[in-house]
A and B are shown apart, each in its own frame.
Chain A
Amino acid sequence: MRRVREISAGTVTETLRDLFIAANLEMGRDMQDALARAAEEEESPLGRYVLQKILENMDVARKESLPLCQDTGLAVVFAEMGQEVHIVGGDFQAAVQEGVRQAYREGYLRKSLCDPLSRRNTGDNTPAVIFTEVVPGDRLKLIAMPKGGGSENMSCSAMLVPAEGKAGIVDHVVACVRKAGSNPCPPVLVGVGIGGSLEMSGVLAKKALLRPLGTANAHDERLAAMEREILEGVNRLGIGPQGYGGRVTALAVHMEMMPCHIASLPVTVNIQCHVARHREAVL
């Protein structure tokens, strides 16, 4: 019989605190490289100017330990909990929320959450949105994803008619990016979730944003082909960096899919700004 492995709630808190602070100060190497390539490839002068400022900002944020963007996000946490893991010394959900609370206080990050009706700020950027999956093994993987409001607002879900098929999906995604225009801080990443249920398509779309930038869907060649087709379509729109015009409207399109009901074709597009932040740790 396999032994239970203990992880303290305090370790969960400390890990998430460090991940959210680090994520807000520096993007992954994949994003940095993609933005540097975009600055070389962009043909519009204003677009190139924007991309150069974005690269300059990465240096300043790193040197001065300042958040890349003032919108340090809604705290989204993905937890993959091995089924042999036992959390000790506290409640898992509370430990996650405490990690977020400490990160936003100690890291001088903006508290951007409020009551939806009174619009009163919650004061500590909690509650985080937490997705927990139980997986085989005795490890706990924690992913911290601060998600900006401007790009989240431009995301869209649709329950397509199955007859619309692949062409309908491609049209829907390109139309969503066109409609978003300059609002979500292009160049964007486009996460697309297909199938499941209404809410699962959204979770798939968000998870797609966590994939290393520009890697094609490894499980399904049909999706990899659609990713290429949509990226080309989006970059023909001419929106460009910050909407000031140009070729680079999106850096990548990532799609994830699962089966759905015979009557349904749920598709969610989750747009991510060019400050595409996420950090992970395995305990």
Chain B
Amino acid sequence: MTSEPIRLETPLNDELCERLSVGDRVLLSGVLYTGRDAAHHRLCDAAVRGEPLPFPVQGAVIFYAGPAPAKPGAVTGSIGPTTSYRMDPFAPRLMALGLKGMIGKGRRSPEVVSAMKQYKAVYFGAIGGIAALTARCIRESAVVAYEDLGPEAIFRLVVFELPLVVINDTKGRDLYDEALKTYSRT
């Protein structure tokens, strides 16, 4: 674990992604887009049909999240990562279109890890189950697509210093594998 977190701003590019390594703590600021199960279906259906996506995907970072509703006057309700493997079938296609970062929790498929190497993209872990704390990092939140999906709609978020950990870097390394090598006693 690095002692000092790395401050990063979106949009990301090849160079920024290549500087990151497994286990790095990152404080991410800038624009993110939420997207989870149903939104990914629609995004990829749109991509297959050659239609434009509802947000600029080049350099973008997707947060696999569906927030709780905001109370009146609040920017957002509680927000945090959902388990990422369910988005694995869609992620390589989005990386091919320019997606540079994904935020979630849990292991990715070998296909997604290899796509991250190919397209120089990074997978960040956000801590699950600390959603009240995470909400403090959200400065703006607005639905930009698929409002009918409720919590699964795509929200455009502006975040400030969202605390993350690099799970998969552009070299194909995996924090979960390395953690097991260090701590397994079986």
Which residues of A line the B interface, CB within 8 A?
A: 44-46, 49-50, 53-54, 56-57, 60-61, 64, 66-72, 108-112, 114, 119, 121, 123, 149-150, 153, 181-185, 233, 236-240, 242-247, 273-275
Contacts and interface: CB of A to CB of B under 8 A. Distances in A.
Interface string B75-96: 0011110110100000000000
Contacts of A46: 1, 23, 165, 179
Interface in B44-102: 65-71, 77-80, 82-83, 85
B79 A70 contact: yes
Contacts, number: 167
Interface stretch (B8-16, B114-122, B129-137): B129-137
Given A53-B127, A54-B129, 14 more contacts: A44-B183, A46-B1, A64-B132, A67-B68, A69-B80, A70-B65, A149-B82, A150-B128, A238-B186, A242-B127, A243-B106, A243-B175, A244-B165, A273-B129
Chain A, interface SS category: loop
Contacts of A109: 68-69
Given A72-B68, A244-B165, A56 B130 contact: yes
Contacts of A57: 129-134
Contact of B128 (A56, A111, A123, A273): A273
A251 to B, nearest CB: 13
Classify chain B's interface size.
35 or more
Interface in B124-158: 125, 127-136, 149-152
A71 B130 contact: no
Contacts of A119: 37-38, 41
B173 to A, nearest CB: 14
